[in-house]
């Protein structure tokens, strides 16, 4: 080997080593200061290496510069779906496996910083999804915390808020979790319209007095983990300016089913009187008011048949709000959508438009 070959070989080896050193894999722990969360999340310890996501609309965001972004996830049942959102544009659906897996979220984007969000579109009844962190790859990859949302909101609701069966184009209200899409629910649409971060405390079938199962909203509203009554949410950690309560649809059905086991468990043989219904609603609203003394609270009703012509339920809500005598608590009923089943995308959009107009007309925030 002559001197030229020796020098060239040494140069090539150094160049290759330099390239290998420049191309990096940057792990990002779940509690890294650059990672942003939306919703109530379950963190057992400050040094936790994982975060559990339960609630509809739970989201994890990070901004990065690099070639690719990965997330490591594991689902409890393999029944949860997420939207992968790049730079505020929903781009694809992600199904999470029961095996701990590293998923490619973004690659081949233009140079510069990009914000990627994992958004949970399914309900907590499908089980939890565990987030183990992100990883950025590239030459000198970087991360940063996404810009915070300007406002904060909170929603309490049932299947309408959850976006149950919203993507079932057949109108059959399929229970398959792939058709539930909270991202296109009125709650998510309204929050995005106002550039607001939000929490969505919802479950299909839940009511204020009666649900299709033993738990009612007054027993669930203050939980961190929806399945654990001992894990209480610290309301001081998140203060919304606007709270929306959209309940009573399931109560309106179940109050007529005196043979249903949940009716018997709550009321025995006698239907609750109007005064009891109004008082139950008032009591729940006062629970929310106690946690958020300054918030605007919109007592929304609609847009399924609880607000159809002749329904007494809008009157119950209006009466409860009037009796509370609080000028920051409002009643707003959205007319019945005049179709069977749960709201589809277009009907969710109409519900969102009505709520947006109401907020614009009545609330300064």
Calpha distance 333→317 (Å, rounded): 9
Place of tokens 């009511």: 207
Of 120, 144, 168, which marks where a domain is finished?
144
Q: What is the mean pLDDT of residues 152-160?
A: 98
Q: What is the CATH number of the domain that holds 307?
A: 3.40.50.1110
Calpha distance 360→212 (Å, rounded): 35
> For the chain, what percent of residues have pLDDT higher than 70?
93
Calpha distance 34→31 (Å, rounded): 8
Are 256 and 131 in the same domain? no
Asked if the model's pLDDT at residue 11 lies above 70, the reply is: no
Q: What pLDDT score was predicted for residue 47? A: 65
User: Using one digit for the tens of pLDDT, what is the confidence trace for 201-260?
Assistant: 999 999 999 999 999 999 999 999 999 999 999 999 999 999 999 999 999 999 999 999
User: Using one digit for the tens of pLDDT, what is the confidence trace for 324-360?
Assistant: 999 999 999 999 999 999 999 999 999 999 999 999 9
Give me the domain span that covers residue 113. 24-144
In a domain, 214, yes or no: yes
Are 42 and 183 in the same domain? no
Are 331 and 230 in the same domain? yes
Q: What pLDDT score was predicted for residue 170? A: 86
Are 201 and 67 in the same domain? no
Q: What is the mean pLDDT of residues 88-92?
A: 85
Place of tokens 């919109």: 298
Of 103, 128, 144, which marks where a domain is finished?
144
Number of domains in the chain: 2
240 touches 292 (CB < 8 A): yes
3-class secondary structure, 179: helix
Q: What is the CATH number of the domain that holds 103?
A: 2.60.120.260
pTM of structure: 0.92
Structure tokens of 342? 């749960």
Which DSSP letter does residue 124 get?
A: G
Q: Phi and psi (nearest 5°) for 96?
A: -100, 130
Place of tokens 């969710």: 348
Are 156 and 240 in the same domain? yes
Which has the higher per-residue pLDDT, 177 or 91? Answer: 177
Q: Chain-centre distance of CA 113, in angstroms?
A: 25
Of 144, 179, 201, which marks where a domain is finished?
144
Calpha distance 212→191 (Å, rounded): 28
- Nearest C-alpha neighbor of 327 from the set 365, 298, 287, 306: 298
User: Using one digit for the tens of pLDDT, what is the confidence trace for 249-296?
Assistant: 999 999 999 999 999 999 999 999 999 999 999 999 999 999 999 999
Are 225 and 126 in the same domain? no
Question: What's the mean pLDDT when you consider all of the chain?
Answer: 93
Question: What's the count of helices (H) and strands (E) in the chain, helices before strands?
Answer: 9, 17
Asked if the model's pLDDT at residue 2 lies above 50, the reply is: no
Task: Report the run of H or E that residue 289 belongs to, with start and end.
Answer: helix 274-291
Q: What pLDDT score was predicted for residue 42? A: 86
Are 218 and 345 in the same domain? yes
Are 139 and 193 in the same domain? no
Residues in the chain: 365
């Amino acid at each position: 080997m002559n001197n030229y070959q020796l020098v060239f070989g040494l140069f090539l080896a150094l160049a290759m080593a330099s390239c290998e050193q420049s191309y990096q894999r940057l792990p990002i722990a779940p509690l890294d200061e650059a990672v942003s969360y939306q919703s109530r999340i379950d963190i057992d310890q400050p040094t936790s290496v994982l975060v559990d996501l339960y609630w509809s609309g739970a989201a994890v965001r990070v901004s990065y510069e690099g070639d690719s972004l990965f997330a490591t996830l594991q689902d409890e049942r393999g029944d949860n779906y997420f939207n992968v959102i790049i730079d505020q544009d929903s781009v694809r659906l992600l199904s999470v496996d029961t095996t701990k897996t590293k998923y490619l979220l973004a690659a081949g984007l233009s140079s510069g910083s990009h914000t990627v969000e994992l958004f949970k579109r399914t309900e907590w009844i499908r089980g939890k999804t565990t987030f183990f962190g992100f990883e950025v790859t590239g030459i000198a990859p970087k991360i940063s915390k996404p810009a915070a949302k300007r406002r904060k909101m909170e929603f309490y609701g049932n299947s309408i808020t959850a976006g149950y069966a919203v993507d079932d184009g057949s109108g059959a209200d399929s229970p398959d979790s792939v058709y539930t899409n909270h991202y296109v629910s009125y709650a998510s649409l309204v929050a995005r319209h106002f550039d607001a971060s939000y929490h969505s405390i919802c479950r299909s079938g839940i009511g204020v007095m009666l649900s299709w199962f033993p738990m009612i909203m007054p027993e669930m509203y203050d939980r961190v983990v929806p399945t654990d009554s001992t894990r209480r949410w610290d309301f001081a950690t998140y203060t919304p300016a606007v709270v929306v309560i959209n309940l009573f649809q399931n109560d309106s059905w179940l109050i007529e089913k005196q043979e249903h086991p949940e009716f018997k468990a709550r009321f025995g043989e006698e239907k609750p009187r109007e005064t009891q219904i109004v008082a139950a609603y008032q009591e729940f609203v006062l629970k929310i008011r106690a946690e958020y003394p300054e918030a605007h609270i919109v007592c929304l009703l609609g847009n399924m048949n609880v607000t159809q012509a002749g329904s007494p339920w809008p009157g119950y809500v209006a009466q409860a709000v009037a009796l509370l005598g609080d000028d920051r608590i409002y009643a707003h009923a959205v007319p019945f959508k005049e179709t069977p089943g749960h709201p589809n995308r277009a009907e969710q959009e109409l519900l969102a438009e009505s709520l947006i107009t109401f907020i614009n007309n009545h609330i300064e925030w």
